[in-house]
């Protein structure tokens, strides 16, 4: 089962809780975050890695600082030396989200907002653009962001970044379920949903199956980390 946790970077937390999250991130991530000019960008970077470490440690029983994060040549992060644990991160607006599975995974979250359809004409497959034009005007942004997240989740699942042109494959949303048309011949299973506050989420995984999406409060994560730390010390 794909497990997805997300956190709200606008949640009010104490300085101690913030430091606790910083403390479980790698030095590289802390340095990367410190280079961002704006606080929300620093938070997205730190909270993302902290959330991934928290979830992976919970699943594997490894301690959070044993996990070594690496990246493939296109920047997709993975845990070194772990063949049965895969994760992917996304951030948009006020949320940071992490998906975890035992096989390859890609997720994308986007806040639905008003956007020029020209972006779809320029980057999407022609069939997707035609589909967007066929929607009622008030449904178009929803459809645009649904396609956007589906496309990104697939690219993130493949882990190749923008090496894969966005018009090299397309999604058909006319039927009862999402249909991917691609020459990759990879059995990818893609689902899409909406999370609160008008955000589209798409998840691409190796096998079909249930997806559990759960919002976590940062303070609960921190107190859980504290409890686990105590258990480690007591062993
Ligand atoms: C980097 C990229 C993988 C995702 O970018 P994004 O959608 O802006 O960002 P998201 O918040 O969804 O994801 C960022 C996270 O994906 C992960 N990531 C980075 N490179 C990745 C890759 N090649 N494959 C999978 N995941 C990747 C990282 O964990 C990153 O977060 P971090 O830097 O805090 O660790 C890339 O596909 C991209 O630049 N996309 C933008 C394309 C675009 O303009 N699309 C518009 C029309 S669809």
Q: Among 97, 92, 128, which Cα is nearest to 113's?
A: 92
Q: Report the chain's mean pLDDT, rounded to a whole number.
A: 92
Dist. CA 156 → ligand 1 center (Å): 7
pLDDT of residue 66: 87
Predicted confidence band at 231 (pLDDT cuts at 50, 70, 90)?
low
Q: Which atom of ligand 1 is nearest to the CA of 106?
A: 25
Dist. CA 90 → ligand 1 center (Å): 7
Q: What is the token pair recorded at 57?
A: 């440690």
Predicted confidence band at 89 (pLDDT cuts at 50, 70, 90)?
very high
Dist. CA 88 → ligand 1 center (Å): 9
Predicted confidence band at 227 (pLDDT cuts at 50, 70, 90)?
confident
Say what angle helices 15-24 and 218-234 make with each other, to 10 degrees. Answer: 60
d(CA 88, CA 101): 9
pLDDT digits (tens, 9 = 90+) for 92-111: 999 999 999 999 999 999 99
DSSP per-residue string spanning 44-111: HHHHHHHHHHHHHHHHH---GGG--EEE-TTS-EEETT-SS-EEEEEEETTEEEEEEESS-EEEEEEE
Ligand 1 pocket mutation pick from 161, 162, 164 by most atoms within 8 angstroms of CB: 161
Looking at ligand 1, which residue's alpha carbon is closest to its atom 37?
Answer: 161
Q: Between the CA atoms of 72, 204, 130 and 162, what dihedral angle is there, to the nearest 10 degrees?
A: 0
SS3 27: helix
Q: Among 222, 216, 207, 214, which Cα is nearest to 157's?
A: 207
Burial class (CB in 10 A: 0-12, 13-18, 19+), 171: buried
Give phi and psi for 113, each to the nearest 5.
-145, 175
Predicted confidence band at 232 (pLDDT cuts at 50, 70, 90)?
low
Ligand 1 pocket mutation pick from 77, 87, 99 by most atoms within 8 angstroms of CB: 77
Dist. CA 107 → ligand 1 center (Å): 9
In degrees, rounded to 5, the angle at the alpha carbon of residue 172 between the alpha carbons of residues 122 and 159 is 65
Q: What is the token pair recorded at 71?
A: 């990246």
pLDDT digits (tens, 9 = 90+) for 124-148: 999 999 999 999 999 999 999 999 9
pLDDT for residue 209 is more than 90: no
Q: Which atom of ligand 1 is nearest to the CA of 155?
A: 37
pLDDT digits (tens, 9 = 90+) for 180-194: 999 987 878 999 999
Q: Please compute the mean of the pLDDT values over residues 9-14 and round it to a whole number.
A: 92
Complete domains list, the chain, with CATH: 1-103+209-235 (3.90.470.20), 104-206 (3.90.470.20)
SS3 24: helix
Ligand 1 pocket mutation pick from 26, 146, 156, 160 by most atoms within 8 angstroms of CB: 156
Q: What letter does residue 198 receive in the DSSP assignment?
A: T
Give phi and psi for 178, each to the nearest 5.
-65, 130
């Amino acid at each position: 089962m794909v497990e997805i946790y997300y956190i709200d970077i606008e949640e009010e937390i104490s300085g101690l809780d913030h430091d606790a999250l910083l403390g479980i991130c790698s030095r590289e991530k802390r340095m990367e975050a410190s280079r961002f000019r704006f606080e929300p960008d620093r938070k997205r970077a730190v909270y993302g890695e902290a959330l991934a470490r928290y979830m992976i440690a919970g699943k594997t029983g490894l301690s959070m600082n044993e996990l070594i994060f690496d990246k493939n040549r296109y920047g997709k992060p993975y845990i070194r030396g772990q063949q049965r644990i895969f994760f992917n991160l996304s951030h948009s607006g006020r949320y940071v989200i992490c998906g975890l599975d035992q096989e390859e995974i890609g997720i994308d979250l986007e806040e639905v907002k008003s956007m020029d359809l020209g972006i779809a004409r320029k980057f999407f497959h022609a069939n997707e653009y035609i589909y967007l034009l066929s929607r009622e005007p008030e449904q178009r942004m929803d459809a645009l962001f649904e396609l956007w997240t589906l496309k990104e989740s697939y690219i993130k699942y493949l882990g190749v970044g923008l090496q894969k042109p966005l018009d090299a494959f397309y999604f058909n949303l006319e039927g009862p379920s999402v249909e991917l048309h691609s020459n990759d011949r990879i059995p990818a299973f893609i689902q899409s949903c909406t999370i609160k506050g008008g955000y589209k989420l798409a998840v691409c995984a190796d096998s079909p199956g249930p997806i559990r999406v759960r919002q976590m409060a940062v303070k609960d994560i921190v107190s859980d980390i504290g409890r686990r730390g105590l258990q480690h010390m007591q062993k």
